[in-house]
Amino acid sequence: MVVQIDRFDLGVALEFPENLLLTRRTVLEAILKGSAGLALLHGRQCHADSDSTLTVRLGKAAPVKIPDDFVGLGYEMSSVAPLGLLSVTNHNYVALVEALGAKGVLRVGGIVANYTRYEPHGKIMADRQNTVITDASLQQFAAFLRKVGWKAIWSVNFAQGSLQDGVTEAKAVAKALGPHLLAIELGNEVENYGKGRSPFRSSSWNYAEYRKEYGEWHAAIVRAAPQIQFAAPDTASSIEWVERMAHDAAGQVQLLTTHYYRANQSHGTAEELLVPDPRLKDILTRLRTISGESGIPWRMCETNSFSGGGRPGVSDTFIGALWTLDYMLLLAEYGCSGVNIETGVNQLGFISSYSPIRDDGKGTNSAGIPYYGMLAFAEARKDCAEVFPVELDVQKINVSAYVLGTSGKPRSAVIVNRDRSQGARISMKNLAMSDVTALWLTAPSPDSTTGVTLGGSSVDANGHWAAEQKQRIRETVLFVPAMSAVVLRAADSRG
């Protein structure tokens, strides 16, 4: 006996024994088991028998623009120095970056930038405290940027290099990258230069001293290469320094930058990636405010789950993918001009567990689990230039909703359910999105490090992805299982 389900079109036929009593719970359980797009680990319970429905409504505030180059990846300087990684001949890497968008930004810096020097014809070195960038490094990176169509933010060694070193490096980078250079950064996490066991400045180092030195370097670089734009102050966490820089930028800053990590690797937990960071919305509100007042866009130019490379068994699981998707959408909602998700070798010299793009150490790159969160974001924002304010009464369910579109018209929506035990019935009727298809982001379990799919498909060994299941949603109420997410696209959306 085959039962037709009118409420959802999941692209599967659901078969039941003839003598089985078809209760609502039975049907829902069959949906969860029968659809590859809603696959759950056997024994993982999802309470689907709640009669409450959460309705997504657009808020009254104006939509927020999403820049074309919003998506980005972040690297330590030691990832750009060697030949072979960020290269047009690394076809896997090219494919993985291109799938995230036709435009984007690669930020090169990190703590390793404080231990990097530019030697035009020197010997390339990629060590966490001894990295050498050469002209060959720059030419390879420039070719990679041209291939993928992205731009770059480049950090010069403001910590230990001389002013003349900075001028020489900035000129060389600008010449090599040309129009693919978005901005130069002077230093990395500059408010910490007076701290630590081996500080780069005196213990009295403060914003006033930084601002004076920044002004000197800026003036010298502009005289040598007037076309260069600047991103600053690139703080580890100080929003106050960002606010002060914005207030007295005097044309010396074209992009405000800072970093964010949910917590430190040493004590990061899975639960911290499942619930909102109580301090994050205050941070985002302050950044949005100062950007609006100064007219200078702001970018989260270095960020991921837990600093120090992420927490193994957490950052590299499906929980990390759901966190990445929700986090990127939240940043867009607060007017962030872009986000650079850290990946690859970290400042300690090993591959970070939070990496969207993995490296096996033998020259082969592949999609890490957080990559699927970035990929889902990329699919949601196709043909969408803005994100709308959303009202959603979550009713004790850990679920969030985002709506994207163009010219005031919703074209896609994303529901992220990070609740471990409860599924959510979501009504989309107020969005007036017609003929909707769904791409489900799922995994065998929240802790999965394999088996993650978007639209029923995983990224293949060559770095390519294509949805196998674009499920048509006939009605406006959708059930989103616990620990899953879905990207909904209206029929008039291209792509």
Mean pLDDT of the chain: 90
The fold of 67-380 is: TIM Barrel (3.20.20)
**445 or 41: which carries more pLDDT confidence?**
445
CA 403 to each of CA 120, 281, 383, 386, 388: distance values in angstroms, whole numbers, following the listed order: 48, 18, 13, 9, 6
Percentage of the chain beyond pLDDT 90 is 83
Phi/psi class of residue 448: alpha, beta or left (left: φ > 0; alpha: ψ in -120 to 50)?
A: beta
- Location of structure tokens 């917590």: 263
Q: Name beta bridge partners: 57.
A: 391
The H or E element containing residue 326 is: helix 318-333
Rg (CA), the chain: 23
In the predicted model, is pLDDT for residue 35 greater than 70?
no
- pLDDT, residue 32, reads 39
Return the domain boundaries, the chain: 2-62+385-489, 67-380
Parallel/antiparallel/unpaired status of strands 54-55 and 424-427: parallel
2-62+385-489 and 67-380 share one CATH topology? no
pLDDT digits (tens, 9 = 90+) for 359-374: 987 889 999 999 999 9
Rounded Cα distance between 341 and 2, Å, is: 46
Rounded Cα distance between 141 and 453, Å, is: 31
The secondary structure of 221-286 as a DSSP string is: HHHH-TT--EEEEEESS-HHHHHHHHHT-TTS-SEEEEEEEEEEGGG--HHHHHS--TTHHHHHHH
Residue 105: band (very low, low, confident or very high) from pLDDT cuts 50, 70, 90 = very high
Extract the tokens encoding 421. 């035990």
Whether domain 2-62+385-489 has CATH 2.60.40.1180: yes
Least confident of 33-42, 48-57, 456-465: 33-42
Least confident of 15-29, 248-262, 334-348: 15-29
